Amino acid sequence: MAASAIAWSPVVGVLLGGVATGALWVLLGFLHSPSLLAGLLVVGLMAVLTRGMHVDGLADTADGFGCYGPPERALAVMKDGGAGPFAVVTLIVVLGAQAVSLGVAGFWVPVLAITAGRAAFALSCRRDVPAARPEGLGALVAGSQPPWVPVAWWLVLAAGAAFVVPGRWWQGPIAVGVAAGLVELLVRHARRRFGGVTGDVLGAASEIATTAVLVVCALG
């Protein structure tokens, strides 16, 4: 069941992205909200709809990467639940970048970005990536995805991305490629630092992929 949820999570991303696009349409096109305000409100809406789990994972992963000591120490810091300086700075930069980009990117970009964030789960849970702990969400889903699942989703995203930035067909696929590359770097660093992935790392991967697509598509 957990493996299937990871494999099909991009479908949930499409639905959430549709909600984000609808909210942007109301705020920008109907209420004539300032772009930054609209972006901030949509970022908050997405956090509410996901119960803040991915944002929390991003914060905990940042603190884990930033602390000194062996992997056990880093995992203990992540499990503690408090927000250290690395977490605070990371949240400000990532959520701020999302809000600014949402306010100026095309209306279909949120669908692509949030779907890419869910496709990051499959990339992080492929069979050659172990769990960092013997318990928790990471242990439940780590290594559960055959290689073709993340490859298939990211190829679909790259193909669909050609249509989301009007007049610049190449920008969307580049954004998807950047997102996939950053998730891969995150997973590799998690393996070196923690010994594998955790549920927090999955949340961080989702937020990083989403942010990468939004930022690249907003440029220019």
Positions of E strands within 32-189: none
Could you read off the pLDDT of 61-110 as tens digits, one per residue? 999 998 888 888 988 888 877 778 899 999 999 999 999 999 898 889 99
Could you read off the pLDDT of 27-61 as tens digits, one per residue? 999 999 999 999 999 999 999 999 989 999 999 99
Domain membership of residue 107 as a residue range:
2-218
User: What is the number of structural domains in the chain?
Assistant: 1
* pLDDT tops 90 at residue 19: yes
pTM: 0.95
The encoded tokens of residue 194 equal 């923690």
**How many Å apart are CA 67 and CA 84, to the nearest integer?**
9
Q: Is the separation of the CB atoms in 105 and 164 below 8 Å?
A: no
The encoded tokens of residue 79 equal 């499990």
In angstroms, the Cα distances linking 189 to 85, 119, 153, 182, 183 are 20, 19, 22, 11, 10
Q: According to the model, what pLDDT value does residue 137 have?
A: 79
Q: Is the separation of the CB atoms in 156 and 135 below 8 Å?
A: no
**How many Å apart are CA 216 and CA 214, to the nearest integer?**
6
Q: How sure is the predictor about 25, in pLDDT bands with cuts at 50, 70 and 90? A: very high
Q: How sure is the predictor about 206, in pLDDT bands with cuts at 50, 70 and 90? A: very high
Could you read off the pLDDT of 150-200 as tens digits, one per residue? 999 999 999 999 999 988 999 999 999 999 999 999 999 999 999 999 999
